[in-house]
């Protein structure tokens, strides 16, 4: 429209020539704009796909963590009548250490020291509370 306003004093032939001269540049600008929009759309699609993959990974890791914790608790309850010390290891400090590592996503250097102390104390407490086994004579 601007071109038409500028060239209105000229005849139809000169206006037609001017419009034909600007048409290739307008086409280039249009192609450039379309390419830029396509690149933005593809970038947005990649970001969306990455976010979806991250959510899927987080959900999968949460399922694994819950599965391991439930398996440890179930195994601890199952073996409790036969092996009290193994039950204390499965349901006690090791389960808490596992939860700390996966839920809080950190592990301090002293964690293993505290874990071994807690395991020893739970084992010794379990051995004191356990009645003596009847001897098979």
pLDDT score for 91? 78
- The verdict on residue 134 lying in a domain is no
pLDDT score for 80? 84
- The verdict on residue 5 lying in a domain is no
Which residues contact residue 80 at a Cβ distance below 8 angstroms, ignoring those fewer than 6 apart?
A: 87
Outline where 80-110 has alpha helix (H).
84-91, 93-99
pLDDT in tens, 108-125: 777 667 767 766 776 665
Q: What is the mean pLDDT of residues 39-58?
A: 95
Task: Name the domain count of the chain.
Answer: 1
Domain that holds residue 119: 11-128
- The verdict on residue 2 lying in a domain is no
pLDDT in tens, 72-86: 888 888 988 888 777
Question: What is the average pLDDT score of the chain?
Answer: 78
- The verdict on residue 137 lying in a domain is no
- The verdict on residue 54 lying in a domain is yes
Instruction: State percent of the chain over pLDDT 70.
Output: 73
Closest CA to 69 of 48, 52, 92: 92
Entry field: residues in the chain: 137
- The verdict on residue 3 lying in a domain is no
For residue 134, give both structure tokens: 């009847």
> What is the value of pTM for the model shown?
0.50
pLDDT in tens, 60-75: 988 887 888 888 888 8
């Amino acid at each position: 429209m601007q071109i038409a306003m500028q060239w209105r004093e000229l005849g139809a032939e000169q206006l037609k020539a001017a419009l034909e001269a600007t048409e290739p540049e307008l086409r280039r600008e249009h192609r450039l704009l379309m390419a830029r929009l396509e690149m933005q759309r593809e970038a947005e699609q990649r970001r969306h796909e990455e976010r979806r993959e991250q959510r899927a990974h987080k959900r999968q890791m949460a399922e694994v963590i819950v599965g391991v914790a439930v398996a440890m608790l179930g195994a601890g309850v199952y073996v409790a009548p036969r092996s009290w010390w193994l039950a204390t290891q499965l349901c006690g400090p090791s389960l808490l250490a596992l939860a700390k590592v996966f839920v809080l996503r950190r592990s301090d250097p002293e964690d293993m020291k505290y874990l071994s102390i807690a395991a020893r104390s739970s084992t010794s407490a379990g051995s004191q509370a356990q009645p003596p086994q009847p001897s098979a004579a």
